[in-house]
Chain A
């Protein structure tokens, strides 16, 4: 069974750093892209970026380029999303998601349960 299990909710202060994770299981982790999607409170889905764990090829949305870092450790089948200096506006639910097919890119059929990040002083 394919599963994406994300790390737990986080409460941070502005300026702090954070790294959240997404562990894949039940499939060949290195053969599928993993995307990250933001959902701010009461708002829609926003694509942040995507990584191919097989070779760490990473692409970012222009809106998030330079704001976050996406990485993966294929030895433990885990993708990461990290911030070096959080802002209150980073408060949101963050999802990781996997496409339907190994060469797929935007058709996300498996989603993590989401990680709620709250940034507040």
Chain B
């Protein structure tokens, strides 16, 4: 099955822009979805499809994709954005599976 690779940790200064990436062959066929997870809480969907935000997600969150890489961009990071971020997508190897990336810990300095 396919794999999705994320950097384990990323940091950003308060108010600056940060990009979190997700790489995998399945991203050539399927859009990634992105989830934010804070300690002790269930994940929250922040981006899905080409660049869609569920209701209630601030517009500082955006998504993009190129080739085998999907990106989540936070423009003007806030302290409350400090969390773990996970990408996922369908498995493109012909199996009806779903794959998650290993997650990126975002620290807002």
Contacts across chains A and B counted by CB atoms under 8 Å:
63
A1 interface residue per 8 A CB criterion: no
Q: Is the CB of A47 within 8 A of B45?
A: no
Residues of B within 8 Å of A, CB-based: how many? 26
Please give, as numbers and ranges, the residues of chain A lying within 8 Å of B61 by CB-CB distance: none
Residue-wise, chain A 50-62 has the 8 Å CB interface mask toward B (1 for contact) of 1000000001011
Q: Which of A95, A106, A114 contacts B33 (CB 8 A)?
A: A106
Tell me the dominant secondary structure on chain B's binding face. Answer: strand
Q: Is the CB of B88 within 8 A of A106?
A: yes
Q: Is the CB of B54 within 8 A of A95?
A: no
Q: Is the CB of B43 within 8 A of A100?
A: no
Q: Is the CB of B48 within 8 A of A109?
A: yes
Select the residue from B33, B86, B101 with max chain A CB neighbours within 10 A: B33
Tell me the nearest residue of chain B to A57, going by C-beta: B96
Please give, as numbers and ranges, the residues of chain A lying within 8 Å of B101 by CB-CB distance: 44
Please give, as numbers and ranges, the residues of chain B lying within 8 Å of A112 by CB-CB distance: 42
Tell me the dominant secondary structure on chain A's binding face. Answer: strand
Residue-wise, chain A 86-118 has the 8 Å CB interface mask toward B (1 for contact) of 000000000101001000011111011110000
A36 to B18, CA, bound (A): 30
Please give, as numbers and ranges, the residues of chain B lying within 8 Å of A113 by CB-CB distance: 42
Q: Is the CB of A44 within 8 A of B98?
A: no
Residues of A within 8 Å of B, CB-based: how many? 22
A46 to B42, CA, bound (A): 13
B103 interface residue per 8 A CB criterion: yes
Query: Interface of B with A (CB < 8 Å)?
Result: 1, 30, 33, 35, 37, 42-45, 48-49, 54, 84, 86, 88-90, 95-103
Query: Interface of A with B (CB < 8 Å)?
Result: 35, 37, 44-47, 50, 59, 61-62, 95, 97, 100, 105-109, 111-114
- 14 A-B residue pairs with Cβ-Cβ distance under 8 Å, sorted by A, are A44-B102, A45-B35, A45-B100, A47-B88, A59-B96, A61-B97, A62-B95, A62-B97, A105-B90, A108-B43, A109-B45, A109-B54, A111-B44, A113-B42
